[in-house]
Amino acid sequence: MHVALFCSTLLPSKHVLCRVGLLAAFSLSLGSVAAEPHSDEIIQEAVTSGDQLYENGDKIAAKNTYLIASYLGSPRAHFKLAYRFVLPPHKKEYHLEQAALAGHEKALELYLDHTFYRAGSIKQANPHKAAAVYGRALRSNPAIKFRFRDPEETLELAWNQKPRDKEKFFSQYNVQDEDGEWPFYDVWELAEKASRPSEIFGEPDPALVFWLITHGGHVPAETETAVQTYYQRWKSGGSIEFDICDYVTSGDGATFCSQREKEERNSELTADLQDLSDSLSSTQSGRLRNAYEEAEKFITLKVQGEEMHSGTARFALMNASKSRQLNDFIALASDIINQEIEGTTSGLAEEDEKLNKLYSELLLLIAENQHVRIGVNTSMVSTEAFRNTQRQWMRYRDSLDAFFQSIDGNNGDVVHALLTSNRNEELATLKESVIAYKELDSY
């Protein structure tokens, strides 16, 4: 493109590269650049100009400026192109690689994430190249140092494995790569299958498992621990089974493992409920299942609202709490069937009076503190959610009363009082939490 046309369409006319005469200053072609004397100074000024254009909102001109500077060999320009703009994966990788090879520390960190630590994809991961770029980057800039990572040992282990033909792998085993949707552990799930006898991979193959581990990382700490631990265990003759949940450290990982555990536990709960039902009449079994359904609805509302779980592992905490409370229901139902239910030290009237008082106090307290900040990914339970949870608790209480009466033949005051006592403890805990969050928010 002629310099005048380039400067009139893609860059401001007073841009540094236009002032010096773009084509006069540089002989630019597809991959080869010959710079005139003092070009380093011009390149640095161009990158600075690109920064100013970007900050002023002229991102097209900024990108074009960075592109020209990157063609002329500026590591900073390569980095800014990869860091500030949405590029196709192969172009992002190229610009990060060029900056990293010149010793740009942040570019190297992102390049290693892209090709290894966070690649999460067989097609995208390239541990051998990551190791080579890391070595060259250190030669360019020996001062490079990463916090909380040990890429030297981890990449050396990945480097030592035998490369595989990726297309042949997919055709041989008829499996899919990471699909780009949560939970982002598709490749590591393949590693789990390859570590056990399976229809897909046949007999366990630790070399294949390790190859999949090095191509499926999603979080740097998880990738590093899995690579080092599995390699050492494999080479020392230890177990070659791989379990994702042995290595997760992130909120994503905790939620993934919690969800998987929840699915397994749901199957166990279904079996436990069936075991209890097998000893009952059809009427009793129907009332038990109805009580379970109402309990599950109540627990779900309580976990989602009143318990106010927060943080990146919020869903993992919620799943764990729900599983624990459903287990408590199964244990209580078993005690009812075996007529081993224990009553409360106080009577139903006393517990009901306490419940009404706590409920009224909490409605007012929650309404007054809707603005209070709780934490990441959550907020103060709303009065509407609190009311809905209490209404569902009453349905659960009544359904369990009915089941108790079908077993014992007496009125349900014993269970009614027990559930009310338990609910009073939950409401007292909620009241303490709201007050505590209120005090924290006032600081």
3-state secondary structure 232-264: HHHHCCCCCCCCHHHCCCCHHHHHHHHHHHHHH
Rounded Cα distance between 224 and 429, Å, is 40
Q: What are phi and psi of 375, to 5 degrees?
A: 170, -165
Identify which of 274, 397, 283, 286 has the alpha carbon closest to the alpha carbon of residue 330. Answer: 274
How far is residue 343's CA from residue 165's CA, in Å, rounded to a whole number? 67
Strand 33-35 versus strand 26-28 pairing type: antiparallel
CA angle 59–61–67, rounded 5-degree value: 100
Cα–Cα distance for residue pair 304/162, rounded to 1 Å:
48
Q: What's residue 412's pLDDT?
A: 63
For the chain, the distance separating the N- and C-terminal CA atoms, rounded to the nearest angstrom, is 61
So what's the pLDDT on residue 116? 96
For residues 428, 429, 434, 437, the Cα torsion angle rounded to the nearest 10 degrees is 150
Residues 175 and 212 sit within 8 Å (Cβ to Cβ) = no
Q: What's the pLDDT score for residue 10? A: 52
Q: What pLDDT digit, counting tens, does each position of 340-395 carry?
A: 887 777 788 999 999 999 999 999 999 999 888 877 667 888 999 999 999 999 99
Please give the pLDDT value at position 260. Answer: 86
Question: Residue 162 phi/psi, 5° resolution?
Answer: -80, 130
pTM (2 decimals)? 0.68
Low-confidence ranges of the chain (pLDDT < 70): 1-39, 312, 376-377, 410-412, 443
Q: What is each CA distance from 240 to 211, 229, 237, 243, 414, in whole angstroms?
A: 13, 11, 8, 10, 53
Task: Return the pLDDT at 3.
Answer: 43
Looking at residue 216, what is its pLDDT? 95
